Amino acid sequence: MTEQDTQCMVRAVTLAKKGIGKTSPNPTVGAVLVQSGKIIGEGYHKKAGTPHAEILAIRHALSQGHDPKGATLYVTLEPCCHFGKTPPCTDALLKYGIKDVVMGSVDPFPKVHGKGRDALQRGGVSVSVLSKQSPLFQDILSLNQQYLKWAETGLPYVTMKAGMSLDGKIATRSGESKWITSEKARTDARHERSRTDAVLVGAGTVRSDDPMLAAHGINKKKHLLRVILDPRLSLPTTHRVFRDEHVFVATTNRATYKDKERFEKAGIAFESFGPTRISLKKLLQYLGKEDIQHVFVEGGSGTHGYFVDDVRLDSLIIDRVLFYIEPLLLGGNGAVPVIGGHGRKHINNAVRLLHTTVKDVGGTLKITGYVNRYD
């Protein structure tokens, strides 16, 4: 890549980041249109059902009095070539005479995968794809880890979040948990939640905390799906998580007819995912079919243990871990650990995190690590 290519793709990545958490089930994409060495148009995908980044870049150029014919398009992901909620981007690129397209990566979605590139090449457009050895390639992959997993496996990306003391406790031996982490850390965690599609907790968290589990910040109007693990359908339907239709309860065959009837009368959607134990794999498959691409798990010790235990069976159960660690010690065998469940018998069987980063957020350490990486 030339220096100009790199600069333009960096700009496309910067634009794409503006759409993170807002475009699901579509990917996050940025585009820059260049003519005679100057940027004449740019855009990013803002929301599913609205024009894609490539179209907005063309419209921007036209609004500034520029003719896109003969221009070069830098776009972080392969242009689509099929009719969805919007027409194919490839048709527009051919219509306006775009000469060259530089793609950050190929789209793994079956309806697009390589077909967008082929359609452009058949139309006489020169198409190149960013090398996997390029430092920018990893930045581009990071934009759409949730989309890449969903497109490749049909499963949503899973982030497990928790706030804890330095010695790994989320509550004291008396059950007190408010507040272990700093206010800035809690705000940061809410923003992280708001960039996902669904938030998942266990019935125990609902009983003890009666949480809202709502979106915050710039995404505060977003309707997150609230997913509750309740193996017996035992929760009262008066909890705040049941305030509207954006809630789903995962249960088992242990739920009684009386409780099923109670939830049905309350208009709360539920489904069984196993005879006695909720199958997380089946639940994730169900959510993936509902176009849920990113699930934010912020349950209690039991729910976290449930997920970590299942990683032994399927590495796709958890993809990212987000822990907020406050520099204080609670101690005590009776204090609640961040991860319960059976745990690991041997160290060499532990869930190991990759590409771990540490950031100070209001005096709380924000540690991010990854179990899986998709490309």
The pLDDT tens digits of the residues spanning 136-194 come to 888 999 999 999 999 999 999 999 999 999 999 999 998 888 889 999 999 999 999 99
Domain 154-370: state its class: alpha beta
So which residues are the catalytic ones?
54
Give the mean pLDDT of 298-324: 89
Q: What is the pLDDT of residues 3-40, one digit of tens each?
A: 888 899 999 999 999 999 889 999 999 999 999 989 99
Delimit the domains of the chain by residue range. Answer: 3-144, 154-370
Binding residues for substrate: 177, 193, 213, 298
Domain 3-144: state its class: alpha beta
pLDDT attached to residue 343: 86
Binding residues: 52, 80, 89, 163, 177, 179, 193, 205, 209, 213, 298
Spatial distance between the Cα atoms of 272 and 255, rounded to a whole number of angstroms? 8
Spatial distance between the Cα atoms of 33 and 54, rounded to a whole number of angstroms? 8
262 pLDDT band (50/70/90 cuts)? very high
* Domain 3-144 and domain 154-370 have a common topology: no
Is residue 375 pLDDT above 80, yes or no? yes
196 pLDDT band (50/70/90 cuts)? very high
Is residue 268 pLDDT above 80, yes or no? yes
Q: Encoding tokens for residue 16? A: 């794409």
Spatial distance between the Cα atoms of 7 and 149, rounded to a whole number of angstroms? 28
Spatial distance between the Cα atoms of 340 and 342, rounded to a whole number of angstroms? 7
DSSP helix/strand/coil, 169: strand
Question: H or E stretch including 361?
Answer: strand 354-361
Handedness of CA 333, 337, 340, 346 (dihedral sign): negative
Is residue 119 pLDDT above 80, yes or no? yes
Is residue 312 pLDDT above 80, yes or no? no
Binding residues for Zn(2+): 52, 80, 89
Q: How far apart are the first and last CA of the chain?
A: 20
Spatial distance between the Cα atoms of 145 and 372, rounded to a whole number of angstroms? 9
Spatial distance between the Cα atoms of 19 and 195, rounded to a whole number of angstroms? 10
Spatial distance between the Cα atoms of 173 and 330, rounded to a whole number of angstroms? 9
Give the mean pLDDT of 198-217: 92
The reported pTM is: 0.91
Q: What is the pLDDT of residues 58-101, one digit of tens each?
A: 999 999 999 999 999 999 999 998 777 788 899 999 999 999 99
Is 270:251 a contact under the CB 8 Å cutoff?
Answer: yes
Spatial distance between the Cα atoms of 156 and 166, rounded to a whole number of angstroms? 30
